[in-house]
Amino acid sequence: MIRTVVATIPGGYRVNGARCHQVRLRELTGQDQIFLGDVVGQLPSAQWTTEVLHRCLSGLDGAEDVNREQIRSLNVGDREALLLQLRQLSFGNRFDCVVSCPSPDCQEKLDLELRAGELLQSVAPLQMDVHEAQLNDGETTCTVRFRLVTGDDQEAVIELARRDYLAAGDVLLRRCVDRVGGSGTVVEEMPSALKEQLGERMSELDPQAEVRLKVTCSACGRVFDALFDVASYLLHELQAGMRNLLHEVHLLAYHYHWGLAEILGMSARTRHQFLRLLEAELAGASR
């Protein structure tokens, strides 16, 4: 009764030298919710994302899970896309969230209703691990060979990012640049304009890496961008729903006499189906 879907990821991962662009994704169970919301709920976002996907992904043959090293090797956009699809599969297409207007004189709280399908970008599968870009800054021109940021890169700079976000960004860039051609320039010596161009090119190749919302404040009319962090949203949702999960387990165990493992092995969708049947039965019995 646990649903699975086949998800296509543009960057993909390597298996015996071949690039795979499809995985099987299963919906979350109550056991997953407890583990992800409680046991590993304090992990940094990049590490938490790895744990989520490790629990819910498998290869198309279904024989083996995709291992943590392969999950870490995924482009950031692939990981974000999989989280969106996992949330859609487990809890539905609709996201309700609140953002604040950044204007100091306003700071209005804005309710947003999002759809997972609208947040997912349509990206053609990438066949290469390494890319090239011609960057120009006035008289400075160079060819840069680079790869896209992965989950492994994000995990590598977690501690530095806590102390110095900008320095962590530079380390990410150094990890991803294979060669700066032409004059023997190293990444540290690249003008800021070239680094900015490189970042833009990386975003073009992996647009799902950052989900940005265009928001208009209903109070002051200001238009601004808001970053939607899928991992943070899903984690908050799992943790906020913990009390409801325990209540659902109690009701199902009390009335159906099912064991804890059996109930927690169900998806939220299945639990709610039985709870609706139970509510109807109890309502009929009280008449």
Structure tokens at 117: 């399908």
Given a cut of 60, is residue 63 above it in pLDDT?
A: no
Q: What's the pLDDT at 147?
A: 95
Q: What is the pLDDT of residues 90-110, one digit of tens each?
A: 999 999 999 999 999 999 999
Instruction: Give the whole-number percent of the chain exceeding pLDDT 70.
Output: 95
Res 186: pLDDT: 64
Do the beta carbons of residue 59 and residue 23 sit within 8 Å?
A: yes
User: Three-state DSSP class for 32?
Assistant: helix
Q: What is the pLDDT of residues 182-240, one digit of tens each?
A: 555 566 677 788 888 999 999 999 999 999 999 999 999 999 999 999 999 999 999 99
pLDDT at 277 over 80: yes
pLDDT at 60 over 50: yes
Q: Is a pLDDT exceeding 80 seen at residue 164?
A: yes
- What's the confidence (pLDDT) of residue 106? 96
Q: Are 78 and 59 in contact (CB under 8 A)?
A: no
The DSSP H or E segment spanning 177 is strand 177-180
Q: How far apart are the first and last CA of the chain?
A: 32
